[in-house]
């Protein structure tokens, strides 16, 4: 298994890498300047978004995109791509227990499937039941029941799967944040339960460089869990 971590070459990025609790190879995050032109042209976000936040969002998207290109170029198999706020919670599964025909979430959050305005109510009334319905191991994502967000850790089995993702993104007329785009395109086929990685950013976003102002929680088993 090849584990790659996308991280900024910054004080925050270095501190996060120092706290990683699994073996990894570091991939320097792509900046806006290095993003493919089509991503810059087609990314659409709220009209009042801070320009620096928009550029950081596109850079994040490009970081993942360029790793997909490397997977194809180098013929890599069994690749886990993490962001630097990933924390190993269980064990990375043996590739034989993972699908070979699609990407698989190893962490993140599941969300209301169709309308963000309904998401908070859906979390209170529906999400726990959906999570409790997951089987141990790989589960097919039914996008009619839920979608997902947070690219904290995703498994790519082979170059064919990475090439399919590249094609979906290249031919999409409109994009936004990478996780929301991949979910909208139904581009990730599976999730693994219980989640292998937590998402623990300490309440600080490296895209907006802002704190949440909320009590710190992690994403574990596809929902928020409070931490001390």
In the chain the domains, ranked by start, together with CATH numbers, are: 2-226 (3.90.550)
Predicted pLDDT at 24: 97
pLDDT digits (tens, 9 = 90+) for 119-145: 999 999 999 999 999 999 999 999 999
pLDDT at 4 over 90: yes
Position 228 scores a pLDDT of 57
Reduced to 3 states, what is the DSSP secondary structure of residue 117? helix
Q: Round to whole Å and give the CA distance between 8 and 84.
A: 8
H or E segment to which residue 149 belongs:
strand 147-149
Percent of the chain with pLDDT over 90: 87
Check residue 201 and give its pLDDT. 77
Please count the CA atoms within 13 angstroms of the CA of 219 that sit on its side-chain side.
23
Vertex 138: Cα angle to 65 and 91 (nearest 5):
80
Residue 216: pLDDT band (50, 70, 90) is: low
Asked if pLDDT for residue 213 goes beyond 70, the answer is no
Question: What digits encode the pLDDT tens for the residues 91-117?
Answer: 999 999 999 999 999 999 999 999 999
- Contacts (Cβ under 8 Å, ≥6 apart) of 112: 118, 119, 121, 122, 123, 126, 146, 147
């Amino acid at each position: 298994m090849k584990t790659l971590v996308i991280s900024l070459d910054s004080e925050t990025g270095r501190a996060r890498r120092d706290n990683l609790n699994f073996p990894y190879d570091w991939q320097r995050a792509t900046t806006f300047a290095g993003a493919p032109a089509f991503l810059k042209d087609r990314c659409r976000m709220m009209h009042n978004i801070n320009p620096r936040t928009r550029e950081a969002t596109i850079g994040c998207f490009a970081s993942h995109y360029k790793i997909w290109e490397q997977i194809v170029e180098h013929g890599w198999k069994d690749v886990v791509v993490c962001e630097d706020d990933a924390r190993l919670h269980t064990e990375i599964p043996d590739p034989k227990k993972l699908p070979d025909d699609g990407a698989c979430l190893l962490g993140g959050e599941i969300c209301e499937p169709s309308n963000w305005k309904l998401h908070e109510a859906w979390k209170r009334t529906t999400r726990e039941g959906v999570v409790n319905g997951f089987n141990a191991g790989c589960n097919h994502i039914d996008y009619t029941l839920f979608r997902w967000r947070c690219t904290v850790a995703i498994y790519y089995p082979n170059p064919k799967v990475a090439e399919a993702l590249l094609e979906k993104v290249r031919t999409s007329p409109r994009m936004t944040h990478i996780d929301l785009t991949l979910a909208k395109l139904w581009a990730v086929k599976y999730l693994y339960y219980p989640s292998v990685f937590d998402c623990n950013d300490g309440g600080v976003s490296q895209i907006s460089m802002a704190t949440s102002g909320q009590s710190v929680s992690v994403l574990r088993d596809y929902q928020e869990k409070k931490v001390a």
